[in-house]
Amino acid sequence: MDITGTLYKGTDWNAVALYNFFPDVYRKPFELNGAKHVAHVKYGFDSLHRSLDVYLLKSINSPKLKLKRFINTSNIDDSVDKRNNIEYEILSSIKGADFERELLSTIRTDIKNFCQHPSKNNETQLSYVKKIIPITAAKYFSPEKLLEDGKKEFVPACILRANLDFSKGCIAGFIPEKNSSFDGETFKNFYLDISSECEYCYALYHHKTFPKSLIKIDKQQLKEELMNWGAKNRKVDVLRLGKRTETGSIYTRESLIAALEAGLETGTRIVMPTKYLEFDPTVAELFKKTRSVLLYSIGYDEVERGPLISGMGNDFRLEQAVKYKEHGVFSSLYLSIDAASGPKDREKRIMEFAEKHHVPVQFLPIRVFSKELAQKMLGKTWTSLKKNRNQLHLLGDEIEGGYSLTGNGLLSAEHVDEFWKEKIENNDEFYRMCHHNSENTYCGTCFIRGGAVTFTPEVKIDYKNKRKSSTYNTTTDKNQIKMFTKEHFKKGE
């Protein structure tokens, strides 16, 4: 993901300014190795408060920098400081230097140009520090409804009737530095870097700032919703935790325990995909008691920088999956694959690990968002992925293709390679798959029940007009749905 910001151009220096809606959230561009954090600046206009972070650049030639806007240094005076309630936090090492004078002038120019109105406060402050250390207050809110509709709404075979997230933002983009901490109210030494979030996440552009969008889980409210959910006020049998954001991090652990306890008290089973959940005995016991399922997401480290920086890469997830299994939890792997082609070394290694440790695997065919992702994740071009497999004999030895464009602009595997079909067999054993194309729905039920491969009903999704809150606009020809038989549900009940 490109870094957007403003280029500050001085006499003999260049810097990038990154902006944020919250004055106590600090931005950091982790792509720019060697960039020096020289200032964090809070400012206001009307009753609103914002902030910016300035990084001194070694070079402006980074391919990640997308800086179409620039500001040249000027000689603007400090009258803007009180007008816009500016508070400076600046490195003491640059105090008194020509660079500091030019930098302050450039920052003032930037803020004056942006803030058309003065702040309702008229205070200013300039602090010199040896090192800029972020202190960010967590912000919790209580939504009217905790649950959102599940995937079943547009994939009828899916058993996930409802979803629950613990934040409107994802921890993957909130990066801990050395000696970071969180006491339930305040994050210390965490930086926001939205470009560190998993690049293939379909909810990426809906994410808000993690520490400022935490959901307060009222267990009694959750229990009531689990017992009476949806238009028909039906009980939720299976709840998915973490539809759009990560729910396994230590920073939302109280919410996770509350959700599992609510599931235990209502007889609701939980399915939880995760990248961040370390072994926790309390969590393990609740997963066992609720007969719930952990799905450790095994993706591509090269496009999951946030989890990798935080020490939560694929190797970490494999270790935790085994630890939970050894404790008696139904722990499994959620392995992202290129379904249109056979396995590569990565997939073979993961399957060998899974078989050695007896950890079941549910395959998740990836959906490709962009040309850059196609190259990073699959080493293929967008065009080659869309090649028609019926004409492969005309293309020589390079067997690619098998993807089609969905209504929301993603490339999805229309063709499923025979290797994966043979692995999953009837989709009811050690290997299962979660995928749907125009011919079949591969539903592994996330190992909650017996899996199946069914005929895909005609489901049309209006991606442009789907409601933002909880449900999608779908139409389904119910006569085409091939329902599961009772035999499909015996296992795991």
Tokens 């005309």 identify what position? 394
Per DSSP bridges, beta strands 293-298 and 330-337 are parallel
In the chain, the percentage of residues whose pLDDT exceeds 90 is 69
Going by C-alpha positions, the residue among 229, 298, 239 that lies closest to residue 264 is 239
Task: Say how far apart CA 236 and CA 239 lie, in whole Å.
Answer: 7
Average pLDDT of the residues of the chain: 87
More confidently predicted of 398 and 18? 18
The reported pLDDT for the residue numbered 466 is 52
The reported pLDDT for the residue numbered 390 is 59
CA-based end-to-end distance of the chain: 43
At 298, the pLDDT band (50, 70, 90 cuts) reads very high
More confidently predicted of 233 and 219? 219
The reported pLDDT for the residue numbered 108 is 96
Going by C-alpha positions, the residue among 294, 424, 290 that lies closest to residue 363 is 424
The reported pLDDT for the residue numbered 395 is 47
Q: What average pLDDT score do residues 255-277 get?
A: 98
Long-range contacts of 227-232 (CB under 8 A, 24+ apart): 227/266, 229/147, 229/161, 229/162, 230/149, 230/161, 230/162
Residue 89 in contact with residue 103, Cβ under 8 Å? Answer: no
The reported pLDDT for the residue numbered 420 is 96
Highest mean pLDDT among 32-36, 147-151, 237-241 belongs to 237-241
SS3 call for 479: helix
CATH of 137-490, one of 3.90.550, 3.30.70, 3.20.20, 1.10.3470: 3.20.20
Residue 491 has pLDDT above 80, yes or no: no
Q: What average pLDDT score do residues 296-310 get?
A: 94
Residue 473 has pLDDT above 60, yes or no: no
Those residues with Cβ within 8 angstroms of residue 126's Cβ, 6 or more apart along the chain or in another chain:
87, 88, 90
The reported pLDDT for the residue numbered 202 is 85
At 36, the pLDDT band (50, 70, 90 cuts) reads very high
Residue 270 has pLDDT above 60, yes or no: yes
Going by C-alpha positions, the residue among 352, 280, 286 that lies closest to residue 320 is 280
The reported pLDDT for the residue numbered 399 is 56
Q: Which helix (H) or strand (E) holds 241?
A: strand 238-241
Interval 358-375: pLDDT, tens: 999 999 999 998 999 999
Q: What average pLDDT score do residues 242-259 get?
A: 97
Task: Say how far apart CA 340 and CA 385 lie, in whole Å.
Answer: 9
Lowest mean pLDDT among 23-37, 271-285, 387-401, 450-464: 387-401
Interval 389-438: pLDDT, tens: 655 544 444 557 899 888 778 899 999 999 999 999 888 899 999 998 88
Per DSSP bridges, beta strands 14-20 and 440-443 are unpaired
Residue 403 in contact with residue 385, Cβ under 8 Å? Answer: yes
The reported pLDDT for the residue numbered 456 is 75
Q: Which two tokens stand for residue 55?
A: 């990084």
What is the model's pTM?
A: 0.88
Task: Say how far apart CA 414 and CA 439 lie, in whole Å.
Answer: 8
- Annotated domain spans of the chain: 3-132, 137-490
The reported pLDDT for the residue numbered 154 is 73
Q: What average pLDDT score do residues 234-256 get?
A: 96
Q: Which two tokens stand for residue 54?
A: 């300035």
Interval 155-207: pLDDT, tens: 778 899 899 999 999 999 999 999 999 999 999 999 999 889 999 998 888 89
Residue 218 in contact with residue 142, Cβ under 8 Å? Answer: yes
Q: What average pLDDT score do residues 252-265 get?
A: 98
- DSSP letters of 28-83? --TTSTT-EEEEEEEEEEBTEEEEEEEEE-S-S--TTEEEEEEEE-----THHHHH
Q: What average pLDDT score do residues 289-318 get?
A: 96
Q: 79-90 as b/e, with b when 16 or more CB fall inside 10 Å?
A: ebbebbbbbbbb
- Please list the residues that pair with 296 across neighbouring strands: 274, 333
Lowest mean pLDDT among 259-263, 296-300, 303-307, 482-486: 482-486
